[in-house]
Amino acid sequence: MFQRPNLKPMFFALPRIYLNEITKQINKKDNRTAKKWCEKNFLKIHKDSSGEFVYQYDFDLAFDMPLINDLKLMHGDNWEDYYHAYNKNELHKILDSPQSTKVGKTCYVPKGKLSSKLFGGSLK
């Protein structure tokens, strides 16, 4: 007869943030507003005996997404370095370094004849 080895089940709990805490974080007063904010930011709301919650890591990512998008726009591939420095409150160190350069915005260059007639070469 086959015997199972003594495996201990591994349970770990992900940190949770409840809707009443989310209302404070997003500076709102009502749980319904927090629920709408979660839906707008594609956060799945879970329920347990204590109430409705989302996972902390998902909330942190959704809450920081405007900052992340701005950093990607301003610093290109180096956005992660700036984001980690921002989270560690060490942004001044990375801004003082000689490597910190901003990524210039690219302009539209028309490809076809019709596009070049419409836009007159390029938009700046």
CB pairs under 8 A, 24+ apart, for 21-26? 22/54, 22/59, 25/59, 25/63, 26/63
Amino acid letter at 91?
A: L
Give pLDDT, residue 105.
Answer: 60
Q: Domain count of the chain? A: 1
Query: What is the arithmetic mean of pLDDT over 5-12?
Result: 68
Determine, yes or no, domain membership for 26: yes
The total of other beta-carbon atoms located within 10 Å of residue 117's CB is 10
The alpha carbon of 49 is separated from its chain's Cα centroid by a whole number of angstroms, namely: 29
Give pLDDT, residue 60.
Answer: 95
Determine, yes or no, domain membership for 95: yes
* Of 48 and 99, more confident: 48
70: pLDDT strictly greater than 90: yes
Determine, yes or no, domain membership for 11: no
DSSP classification of residue 53 = E
Q: How many whole angstroms separate alpha carbon 97 and alpha carbon 27?
A: 35
Parent domain of 26? 16-119
Determine, yes or no, domain membership for 46: yes
Determine, yes or no, domain membership for 40: yes
Residue range 34-46, pLDDT digits in tens: 999 999 999 999 9
